[in-house]
Structure 1
Amino acid sequence: MTVLFNNYGRRPVHLVKGQGTEVWDDTGKRYLDFTSGIAVLTLGHANPLLVKALQQQSEKLWHVSNLFASPEQEKLGASLVKDTHLAHALFCNSGAEANEAAIKLARKHSGKHHIITFEKSFHGRTYATMAATGQDKVKQGFGPLVDKFTTIPFNDVAALKQAADDTVGAIMLEVIQGEGGVNVATEEFIAAINEVSKEHGILVIVDEVQTGIARTGKRYAFEYTALKPDIVSLAKGLGGGFPIGAILAKAEMYDTLGPGSHGTTFGGNPLAVAVAQTVIDTVFTETFLQSVAELSAYAKQQITEKLSQFTVVGEGLLLGLVCPNGDAAAYVAKAEQQGLLVVQAGPGVIRLVPPLTVTKEEIDEAIAILQTL
C-alpha cells in the first residue's frame, strides 16, 4: 500500500540520476530517456547552463509577488514574442494553467463563450481544460463540466465549416496533437480554420504546450502553417524541467485582462524565469533550430530504413511510431526492459520525445533497441 493516490499508472522504475539523454535507476541500471519528462527536458537532464542559471538566481531571490514590477518577466516575454505577430505575455505555472488563461482571455475578449475543439486533443485536467479536451477518458466520473465546448473530428474540414458560426468565440487546437497520437494538421484544415475565423470573427488559440519551444524544429509549431493565432499557450519545454507556463497574445488583447481579472501566486517567479530565459537564449537560434531539424531528418530516415514495420509521423523531435498491431503499451514495456524509455501517444502510437540535445549515436542506440522488440 502506498501513501500516494493511485491516479498515475506508475512504472516500477525509480530514477535517481540524469545527465543529458541518459538516466539511471536506484539499481544502477542505465536507460536512454526518450520521454524527456513528456517533452519537458528541452536541454536534457542536469544541463550545466540551466543548473548555473538556477543556482545563481537561488542565491539572489526565490520569490516575489506579482504585485511588483518584474524586468526579468519583461525580458522573457519580449524574447518569446520577438519576430512574431504576438505582442504580450502572461506567465503561470503549467500547461493546464496556460490553457485556462487562454480560454478566459478568448471568452472575455470576444464576448462569446462557445469554443470549438477537436477529437483526440489534450489541453489539461482542470474543469475547463477537461471540457476542451477531445478525449472522454479524462472526463469520466467528474460530473458536469464547463459548457459551451463543441468537439469535432480533427482535420475534418466539412465538420469545421458546419460547426463554425457567429456564436463561436474561439477555435482551440494543437497543430500537432501529442497525446492523441501525433496527428499533424493538414494544409486544407489550416486553410479552413483561417477561412471560418475570418468569416465569423472567431479567435484562434494554438496550444503549443507540447509542440512549442523548438520541439518541432521551429520556435512554435504554428510556424509550419499559415496560422497567425490570436493566443498561444506554452509550458513543458519552456522551463526545460522547471515548472513554468505562459500565454502569448496579440496587441489588441492587452486591455482585456486588466488588474484583478486574472492572477497567480507563483507564475513568473524569479527561479522559473531565470531558467526559462536560459532555455530561450539557447534554443531560439538558427543554429539550434537547424540542429533539431537535422536530427529529425536523421531519425526519420533511420526509422524508415530499419523499423519498416512502423509508420513514422510528426515533426522535429516530436515523432510517433504507429504500431502495426495497435498495441503501443507492449512495445513501451519491452523497450523499458531493454534500457529505452518511451511513452505512448494514444493506444497505437509510440511517442519519441528525446531531449533536443540528443545525439545521432543515441538515436542509433534507441533504434537498435526498438529493432529487438
Structure 2
Amino acid sequence: MPWNKNRVTSRLGIKYPIVQGPLGGLASQRLTAAVSNYGGLGSFGAHGLKPQAIREVIGELRSITDKPFAINLWVSMEDDGAFVSDAKAFERSLAHISGHITTLGGKPPVFTPYSAIRFEDQARVIIDEKVPVFSFIYGLPPNEILDECRRMGIILIGGATTVDEAKALADAGVDLVVASGFEAGGHRGSFLRCSDDSLNGTMALVPQVSDAISLPVIAAGGIADGRGIVAALALGAEGVQMGTIFLPCKESGASERHRYAILSGGAAVTALTRGFTGRLARGIENQLMVELNAPETSILPYPLQRQLIRNLTSIAESSGHDELIPMWSGQSANLAKSTDISEILDSLVQSVSEIAGRVMLWGENG
C-alpha cells in the first residue's frame, strides 16, 4: 500500500498524511489554505482570538479552500494565578524588560487586570460553523463539547506529550492523537503532569503511544524532511505534524526577521523557556531568552507574561533587534530551506516516496 494511504488520510479526507502545525500567533489563513489545497491538512492556531475573530478566520478559510482544515485551540486558557496576579507582580516582571523598552524608545506598559477569553465560547464557534477538524492541546474539552462535535461530524484531534495523555485522549473518544516530542518548536500542551516532567523525545514517545492506543497517531517534534517522515512512519505513526519548516514561507505569520533567522542558520541553537509566555516552549536562544531564564527572573502566569513581552516584541521588531524578539523554532530548523509552500510539499512527497521505494527494494533483496 502506498505510504500516503492509511487511516490518517482516510479519516481526514486528505491526500497526504502531512499536518501543518497550528503555529499559534504565527498562523495565517493563506498558509493554512495552501497546505490544505495541496492535499495535506492545514491548521490555524486560534487560541488567542476572541470568538468573533475565529468566526471571521473560518469564513476567510472557506473562501480560499474547499478542502478540510483544522482550527486549533488550547483547552487551558490561563495558569493558576492569572486572575489574582496584581500590580506588584506585574512591576517585578516588567523590571526585567523595562530597560530594553525605554532604550528602544518605547514606553513601559501599565498594569491592567486579566480579562479572559473563554475556551467554551471559542469552541462554540467551531461547532456552530461545523469546522471540518477541531484540534486541541493543554487538556480535554468537556464531554458535552466532544459529544456535540461528534454529532456534527467534526473530527477531533488531541495533542499528547506522554503516553498517559494519549490514553486519556483515546478514552475520551477523539479520532486521532498527535504525539508531540520535546524537539517541537513553540508550546506542546502537557496536561496531566507539568511540562517539565513531560519532556519525551519524539523517537521515544511515538512508538510507545502507538503501542498504547488503537487510534491513528500523528508524530510531531523535530520532523522537517522526508527522512523524518519515514522515520515517524517506521515508529508506528500514520502521519506527521510539521510547523517550523513552514515558518519561512511568505504566507506564514512570522516576521521577516524570524523567517530570515531560520533560513540563515540563526536557529541552530534552540532552548526551552517560560520567559516568553509563562508556559514552557521552545524557541531560538537569544539574549532575551537567556535573561528571562535567569533564576532571579520573575515570570507572570500565562498569558500575562505573553502579553507583557509583546510590549517589547513590537518595538524590537521594528528596530531590528533580533536578540530581543521571541522566535519560536523546533530543533530541526536548519533543515528548512525554502520559502515556497508547494516546493516544500513537493520535496517532502518526492523524498518520502524515494526513501520508501528504497526500503521496499532492500527488503525484497533480503
TM-score category, normalised to shorter length: 0.3 to 0.5
- Superposition TM-score, scaled by structure 2 size: 0.32
Greater RCO between the two (CA within 8 Å, min separation 6)? 1
Higher strand share: 1
Higher helix share: 2
